[in-house]
């Protein structure tokens, strides 16, 4: 039976706000050729020659050699293990391809300063060399066919693993790229390859082969951030001309949920540090020189200033690890459809609790098997309240497909609880 469902309540205080990714737009049609950057010719890495697979001359010689190598390897492992485990930071592996992100030892990423000098100086010097520029090249197509590869947008990124040449950035910075040019702090322009990107979380990982002389940023913990804490943003606003620009400010809030192109999975960090087009993918850093966020968006509506947003690094790490391991991210789903018109005002009018109004249930999906029905109002996941679909998405973000979660929902004047096995979001196409 269809439930009565009235018009939505009054818009919230942020109605009309325009949140946009901070990446320079593509060149306007008819722009002068001098405004477009052409792809520079870069040396193509020479592939390694195939290894010989010839057999050994004798089974006995091979066995003796293997035994000696095994004994030598065991002694070296015992001798070097303490140093190795201190210098490496392990990602959260979820599949067979376990990835280890090679990080500097835990601690401060900034050097000591002379007395009285701003700590921003040390942060800029230590973290600045880990920040890269990313130029997205695509063919500008027209009625006359494909043109030459041309830079259509640019952004920022930062090195998380110097040995392997891994770089973290936003997905919208590298999306649809046919060629990527990475500008390093030492002046080199090198070829980049996207290892994996995820539009839902707006994260991507890029790899470069020329890893000599690279330095990785030190990753911090965004779980304990406090409003008012000083932070520094580093990136390339406007492209290479303003590479590694440093701005600073405070954390304005730690729990902002925004709708960016219809997707939001993170509880974003809000900051008043200046973030401009080209800053996307660059690091947000604390005064200890540790990356605590990835700059992603700003409020560009008329009359708004000092409202930039960053993805918390602790939330981003599981996604980054999945991208390194599998090249993609698996997102969990309750397998229901939410009616976004249900809001606080309407809930109050009906005497119902805040939550997510279930407009439809996927037949034989996890929610359906657990007894959730159309018209139910989901109010909590694993004991944590969910007042709207953005917060529901964030609660589920910590899970993975196949996990079981406790779902609290309201039906016919009663609050009930059930356990749902999560499915997986499958994008159309």
Q: What does the chain come to in residues? A: 429
Set 153, 154, 172, 389: catalytic member: 172
Set 126, 156, 252, 280: catalytic member: 280
179 a catalytic residue: no
> What is the rounded CA–CA span in Å between residue 211 and residue 184?
10
Set 161, 198, 202, 376: catalytic member: 202
CA-based nearest residue to 218, from 274, 283, 275? 283
202 a catalytic residue: yes
> What is the rounded CA–CA span in Å between residue 319 and residue 330?
9
- Cβ neighbours of residue 331 under 8 Å, at least 6 residues apart? 200, 265, 401, 424, 425
CB 343 within 8 A of CB 390: no
Measured CA distances, 261 to 19, 20, 199, 200, 201 (Å)? 9, 9, 10, 9, 11
172 a catalytic residue: yes
Exposure string (b/e) for 249-278, b if CB count within 10 Å is 16 or more?
bebbebebbbebeeebbbbbbbbbbbbbbb
Residues with catalytic roles: 172, 202, 280
């Amino acid at each position: 039976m269809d439930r009565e469902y009235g018009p939505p309540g009054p818009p919230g205080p942020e109605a009309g706000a325009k949140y946009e990714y901070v990446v320079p737009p593509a060149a306007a049609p008819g722009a002068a050729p001098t405004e477009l950057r052409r792809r520079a010719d870069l040396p193509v890495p020479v592939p390694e020659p195939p290894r010989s697979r010839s057999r050994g001359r004798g089974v006995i010689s091979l066995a003796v050699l293997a035994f000696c190598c095994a004994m030598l390897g065991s002694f070296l492992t015992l001798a070097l293990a303490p140093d190795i485990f201190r210098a490496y930071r392990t990602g959260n592996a979820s599949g067979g391809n376990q990835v280890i992100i090679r990080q500097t030892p835990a601690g401060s990423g900034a050097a000591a300063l002379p007395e009285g000098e701003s700590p921003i100086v040390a942060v800029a010097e230590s973290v600045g060399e880990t920040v890269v520029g990313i130029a997205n090249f695509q063919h500008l197509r027209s009625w006359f066919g494909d043109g030459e590869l041309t830079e259509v947008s640019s952004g920022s990124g930062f090195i998380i693993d110097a040995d392997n040449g891994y770089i973290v950035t936003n997905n919208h910075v590298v999306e649809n790229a046919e060629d990527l040019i990475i500008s390093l702090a030492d002046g080199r322009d090198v070829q980049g390859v996207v290892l994996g990107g995820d539009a839902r979380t707006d994260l991507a990982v890029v790899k470069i082969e020329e890893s000599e002389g690279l330095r990785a940023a030190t990753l911090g913990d965004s779980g304990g951030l406090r409003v008012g804490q000083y932070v520094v943003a580093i990136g390339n606003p406007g492209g290479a001309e303003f590479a590694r620009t440093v701005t600073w400010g405070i954390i304005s809030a730690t729990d902002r949920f925004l709708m960016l192109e219809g997707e939001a999975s993170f509880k974003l960090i809000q900051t008043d540090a200046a973030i401009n087009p080209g800053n996307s993918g660059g690091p947000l850093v604390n005064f200890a020189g540790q990356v605590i966020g990835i700059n992603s968006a700003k409020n560009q509506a008329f009359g708004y200033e000092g409202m930039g947003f960053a993805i918390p690094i602790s939330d981003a790490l599981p996604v980054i690890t999945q991208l390194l391991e599998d090249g993609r991210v698996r997102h969990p789903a309750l397998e229901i459809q939410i009616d976004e018109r249900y809001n606080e005002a309407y809930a109050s009018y009906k005497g119902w609790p805040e939550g997510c109004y279930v407009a439809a249930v996927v037949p034989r999906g996890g929610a359906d098997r657990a007894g959730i029905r159309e018209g139910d109002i989901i109010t909590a996941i694993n004991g944590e309240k969910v007042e709207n679909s953005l917060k529901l998405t964030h609660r589920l973000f910590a899970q993975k497909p196949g996990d079981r979660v406790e779902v609290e929902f309201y039906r016919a004047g009663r609050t009930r609880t059930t356990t749902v096995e999560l499915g997986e979001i499958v994008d159309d196409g």
